[in-house]
């Protein structure tokens, strides 16, 4: 990369999410934290997301003038939120006597492909960044956005601010990437749902990616993948707390890591079922080629054959893609690919994640038993080397999270090197669950 030889040895990259800059008061607090960071590193780059619920508000406004707002114009609209936020942070820093400059993705050279709404980073130019850092300024970069070769603004999708921080850290060969958020680190479950959830001090990149992909919301999986590729340590920590958080890096896995490191949940999914699918070669290829062309991510696939002639094809997509999915249905019906298409938005995904899922017998059985003991039915199941996922009714998601967490983490861990809790009986697991129920060179993304 041009200018790579000019990079500094002590660059710290931080990212602050929308909740951390939601109000002027919080922006002032973030400015204070950045000031503290300057005591640890002479060169600080900060990626910032839009303030609070700004992105959601812009989406709602767009839906008042368009039934399905997508594409270039939508990205131009959504990118405005981050431009406001970086300006506010820059002003707050300058008011403290800290030299700072705010930059859009175009100004700092974050180049993406042309996939509007879900763009992927192709390269990051470092010349402007190095120039500003060399002049002693804190550089505040608008997260979530990039620019194409035609100078069109793109956005990186939900959680894209994490990706911006990661690509900046990778491009600048940063000493670390601090992902600052509203929790103290990565937890064994969502602490807002499972009161007994515990902070995980250390994670490998692979474990973090699986947790994030399965629904953990503290870090985007693409951000973790970038940092893994360029060996940038990640520190997930609270925006305003001095607590240590969770370190994610190469070789972070303990020699005797518990088989399950976390329970994740995801409400933003939908189940799609194609009924009366022709039983002939090429049908599945046709369906999933259409989905790919529409840039719809598929999470899980199940094909069933209730009769000799007709099949049923079920898959899970992100709920944000439902409108794009529905646009494909008339074509499938016209081609007689499927007789009927059902979309169920009242589902959710729950998963157990760990580095030794596939090599540890009985984990799936324990998970399924915990659900059964709470009369929670399983709709779909998917397994991999590091994960077991279930689709269940959304209304039971919180109870399911508490029950499964109680099964795998209910017994106190006395030291970080412990293997973890032993299997417990269903009755013993049910009690705490019921009680809780009552209350980131040229990175590519």
Question: pLDDT 10s per residue in the chain (445 long)?
Answer: 344 445 788 999 999 999 999 999 999 999 999 999 999 999 999 999 999 999 999 999 999 999 889 899 999 999 999 999 999 999 999 999 999 999 999 999 999 999 999 999 999 999 999 999 999 999 999 999 999 999 999 999 988 999 999 999 999 999 999 999 988 999 999 998 999 999 999 999 999 999 998 888 889 999 999 999 999 999 999 999 888 899 999 865 555 566 899 999 999 999 999 998 887 888 889 999 999 999 898 988 887 655 555 688 999 999 989 989 999 999 999 988 888 899 999 999 999 999 878 888 899 999 999 999 999 999 999 888 899 999 999 999 999 999 999 999 984 333 333 333 333 333 333 344 444 443 334 454 5
Collapsed DSSP state (helix, strand, coil) of residue 123: strand
Residues 6+ apart with CB under 8 A from 122: 111, 112, 113, 442, 444
Beta-ladder partners of 301: 315
Residues 6+ apart with CB under 8 A from 359: none
Residue 33, φ and ψ in degrees, nearest 5: -65, -40
Alpha carbons 173 and 175: distance in angstroms, whole number? 7
First to last CA, the chain: 17
Query: Minimal CA–CA distance to 47: which of 216, 158, 169?
Result: 169
> What pTM was estimated for this model as a whole?
0.83
139 dihedral zone (left: phi>0; alpha: psi -120 to 50; beta)? beta
Residue 261, φ and ψ in degrees, nearest 5: -100, -15
Structure tokens of 293? Answer: 């062309």
Alpha carbons 215 and 222: distance in angstroms, whole number? 13
* Burial class of residue 377, CB neighbours in 10 A (0-12, 13-18, 19+): exposed
pLDDT of residue 227: 96
């Amino acid at each position: 990369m041009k200018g790579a030889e000019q990079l500094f040895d002590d660059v710290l990259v931080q990212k602050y999410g929308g909740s951390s800059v939601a109000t002027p008061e919080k922006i002032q607090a973030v400015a204070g934290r950045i000031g503290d960071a300057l005591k640890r590193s002479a060169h600080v780059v900060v990626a910032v997301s839009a303030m609070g619920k700004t992105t959601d508000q812009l989406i709602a406004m767009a839906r008042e003038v368009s039934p399905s707002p997508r594409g270039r114009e939508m990205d131009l609209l959504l990118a405005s939120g981050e431009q406001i936020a970086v300006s506010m942070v820059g002003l707050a820093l300058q008011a403290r006597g800290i030299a700072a400059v705010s930059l859009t993705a175009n100004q700092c050279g974050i180049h993406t492909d042309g996939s509007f709404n879900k763009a992927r980073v192709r390269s990051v130019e470092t010349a402007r960044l190095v120039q500003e850092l060399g002049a002693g300024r804190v550089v505040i970069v608008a997260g979530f956005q990039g620019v194409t070769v035609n100078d069109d603004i793109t956005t990186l999708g939900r959680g894209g601010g994490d990706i911006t921080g990661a690509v900046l850290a990778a491009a600048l060969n940063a000493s670390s990437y601090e992902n600052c958020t509203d929790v103290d680190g990565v937890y064994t479950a969502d602490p807002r749902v499972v009161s007994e959830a515990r902070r995980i001090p250390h994670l490998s990149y692979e474990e973090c990616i699986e947790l994030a992909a399965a629904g953990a919301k503290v870090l985007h999986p693409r951000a973790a993948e970038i940092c893994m590729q360029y060996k940038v340590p990640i520190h997930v920590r609270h925006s305003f707390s001095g607590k240590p958080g969770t370190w994610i890096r190469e070789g972070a896995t303990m020699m005797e890591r518990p088989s399950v490191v976390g329970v994740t949940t995801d409400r933003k999914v939908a189940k799609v079922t194609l009924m009366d699918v022709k039983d002939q070669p090429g049908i599945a290829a046709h369906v999933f080629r259409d989905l790919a062309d529409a840039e719809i991510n598929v999470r899980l696939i199940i094909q069933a054959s209730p009769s000799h002639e007709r099949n049923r094809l079920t898959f899970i997509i992100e709920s944000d893609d439902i409108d794009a999915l529905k646009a494909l249905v008339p074509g499938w019906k016209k081609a007689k690919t499927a007789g009927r298409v059902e979309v169920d938005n009242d589902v959710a995904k729950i998963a157990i994640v760990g580095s030794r899922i596939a090599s540890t017998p009985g984990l799936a059985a324990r998970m399924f038993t915990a659900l059964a003991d709470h009369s929670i039915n399983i709709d779909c199941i998917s397994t991999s080397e590091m994960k077991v996922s279930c689709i269940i009714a959304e209304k039971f998601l919180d109870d399911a999270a508490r029950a499964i967490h109680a099964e795998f983490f209910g017994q106190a861990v006395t030291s970080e090197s412990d293997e973890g809790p032993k299997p417990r009986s269903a009755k013993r697991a049910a009690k705490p669950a019921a009680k809780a129920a009552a209350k980131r060179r040229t990175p590519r993304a």
